[in-house]
Chain A
Amino acid sequence: MDINILAVGREAAILQVVERLINSHEGWHATIATTEQEAINAFKAKPYTIVFVCAGFSAQEEENLRQRLTQLDAAVVVTRHFGGGSGLLENEILGILATK
């Protein structure tokens, strides 16, 4: 199954690693954004299954983004990504897909 994943954070170097790791998995396609507005623009351009909120975004900013994106698509999973791509990223995606 092909899925699109949007990763939003303020640490561009880490986001690039997250993007590379997601894209290395067959059928998983990553887009990265470093601001809330970039994320919303990307979200309006194509459908996403998962939005990962990464380092630099506060819990309140995460909640604001969740509210805005779920108004556009109630099925999207907006969740915190922990760890900076190393070790847990694939696990987090598999866990979310298992619940869908």
Chain B
Amino acid sequence: MTNTILHKANTRGHADHGWLNSFQSFSFAGYYNPQRVQFGVLRVLNDDRVEGGKGFGSHPHDNMEIISIPLEGSLVHQDNMGHKEVVSAGEIQVMSTGSGVFHSEYNNDPDKLVKFLQIWVYPNKLNVTPRYDQVRLDPHKEHNALQQLIYPYPGSTQAKPSNDGTWIYQDAWFHMGTFDAGRKIAYDLKKPGNGIYLFVIDGAFLYNGQRLDTRDGLGITGTDSIDLEAAEQGSRILIMDVPMKNNIQ
């Protein structure tokens, strides 16, 4: 039986630190809602805006797959693995933090806001050697189509060779697409037992007659496929296909 859980944009957690304005789809930091802790292995979905020149100073992470998707502007990332990189809108950044990494992340522009999604997924392998990757997306693959951003690591039983996007230590797939009004989208889940979390980045979509507006989230379980329709011109969506139970190795 298909089940859904709707997270309207205006019900998200919110933290305004001045330099950082963060909207949190799931409990994070000082925002704790026992009804909104995670969706399967998807633990964090923060919709962050950081003022020009500001950012997160050096801090640690471990045993978490962290995906950053800049929507506007760019971030400068530096870590103790030796990376100093700028990641801009049109690219994605992935860190498998494993046994532990320290990094900083700042708005690369002194004046303009950077807007980005910060997504954390529980890994299915503990204490791996930390890894950093950054991938440029192809805007042509995203128009009226779903472009793959994330897929399972090459050693996974679910792995299929791919040049689209990059991998994480989890049997998870992320896709993103921008659609014309009225365009229909069919998506087949990649692994039995996975659930799907939809996040509307721009515009609006219809799922089973239910309208999802900008920054709304919808979790769906108990199905192996979904059908969506773009309700506005230029509607953009992120589809996260994730295990509902974590089988840690």
Contact = CB atoms under 8 A, between A and B. Distances in A.
A59 B126 contact: yes
Interface in A39-95: 54-59, 80, 82-88, 90-91, 94-95
Q: What does DSSP make chain A's interface, helix, strand, loop or mixed?
A: loop
Contacts of A98: 34
Interface residues of B, number: 28
A93 to B, nearest CB: 9
Contact of B32 (A55, A57, A94): A94
B60 A85 contact: yes
Given A56-B99, A59-B126, A90 B61 contact: no
Q: What does DSSP make chain B's interface, helix, strand, loop or mixed?
A: loop
B64 A82 contact: yes
B73 to A, nearest CB: 21
Given A14-B62, A55-B127, A56-B127, A90 B29 contact: yes
B60 A95 contact: no
Contacts of A55: 62-63, 98-100, 126-127
A17 interface: yes
Size category of the binding interface on chain A: 20 to 34
Interface in B20-71: 27-32, 34, 37, 43-44, 59-64
Nearest to B248: A59
Given A55-B63, A56-B99, A88 B122 contact: no
A84 B61 contact: yes
Given A17-B59, A91-B27, A58 B44 contact: no
Residue in A14, A85, A90, A94 whose Cβ sees the most chain B Cβ within 10 Å: A14
B207 interface: no
Contacts of A84: 60-64, 97, 100-101
Interface string B152-164: 0000000000000
Given A14-B100, A59-B126, A82-B43, A90 B30 contact: yes
Contact of A14 (B31, B44, B60): B60
B151 interface: no
Interface of A: 10-11, 13-14, 17, 54-59, 80, 82-88, 90-91, 94-95, 98
Given A56-B99, A85-B60, A87-B120, 5 more contacts: A14-B60, A59-B249, A83-B63, A85-B59, A95-B32
